[in-house]
Amino acid sequence: MLFLSNKVIKIGVLADTHIYKLKEIAPTFLESLKAFDMVIHLGDFVSLELVDYLKSFSNFYGIAGNHDPHTIKSIFPSQDVVEINGKRLGLIHGYWFPLFCQHRSLARFKKDRVDAILYGHTHVIRNEMVKDILFFNPGSALALWPAPWKTLGILSVGERVSGEIVSVSGKGKAGFAKITDSMIDRNTVIKYVCGSPRLPDYHLHEL
């Protein structure tokens, strides 16, 4: 997939929504996605309603995740490469352990010479350059465990690729976190999985 422009392209990146009905996501959040030049979802939509909504955007790309039903896996590939302004973005859902994910992701895109690898699955934010490749994980759009905040990733693609993570206001889904939060602190989990809480990657973003 090739996308060329004479300006810096702003991309809204989300992952791991894990919803069954579109109404589970705040309308203001969905509306905010329209401000981007492009939107990328890195898998685990779960809801076909969300897929249909995002496919109405003129520039939308998606990757199927391990929790997506076959109806969604038949629509999206398990990995892809999008070229924007001469920069190649590798898209993949990902694997649990970051080092394992990094190793396997690099192997998957070895022949593609990517400038960035975008992935989800862990629900843990990442915005880090490793050997001239940006590893970028937007976290969970609905604050699913172990993510302590609802987050959205923003990529800027021009002469270089840069990313930021924004924390979206509002509470996430309770679910499994009601049990796990009573046993272990989410930041402790993130520190273990990601190496640090990566708090500097966050900016409050009111929607």
CATH number, domain containing residue 39 = 3.60.21.10
Q: What is the mean pLDDT of residues 172-197?
A: 56
Given a contact cutoff of 8 angstroms between Cβ atoms, the answer to whether 43 and 121 are in contact is: yes
Q: What is the mean pLDDT of residues 89-106?
A: 75
Does some domain include residue 2?
no
**Across the strands, what pairs with 79?**
92
pLDDT tens, residue by residue, 112-147: 899 999 999 888 888 888 888 999 999 888 878 777
pLDDT reported for residue 54? 93
Region of 33 (left: φ > 0; alpha: ψ -120 to 50; beta: rest) is alpha
**pTM recorded for the entire structure:** 0.81
pLDDT reported for residue 137? 92
pLDDT at 197 over 50: no
Please count the residues of the chain.
207
Does some domain include residue 157?
yes
CA 126 to each of CA 50, 167, 176, 194: distance values in angstroms, whole numbers, following the listed order: 24, 13, 23, 8
Residues 21, 47: Cα–Cα separation, whole Å: 6
**Full residue range of the structural domain in which residue 75 is found:** 7-205
Does some domain include residue 128?
yes
Binned at pLDDT 50, 70 and 90, residue 41 comes out as: very high
Does some domain include residue 1?
no
Q: Which residue has the higher pLDDT, 54 or 184?
A: 54
Does some domain include residue 33?
yes
Residues 121, 177: Cα–Cα separation, whole Å: 16
Does some domain include residue 200?
yes
Residues 93, 137: Cα–Cα separation, whole Å: 10
pLDDT reported for residue 186? 55
pLDDT reported for residue 193? 53
Does some domain include residue 179?
yes
**Across the strands, what pairs with 202?**
none
Q: Which helix (H) or strand (E) holds 13?
A: strand 9-14
Q: How many folded domains does the chain comprise?
A: 1
Secondary structure of residue 10 in the 3-state scheme: strand
**Across the strands, what pairs with 134?**
116, 129
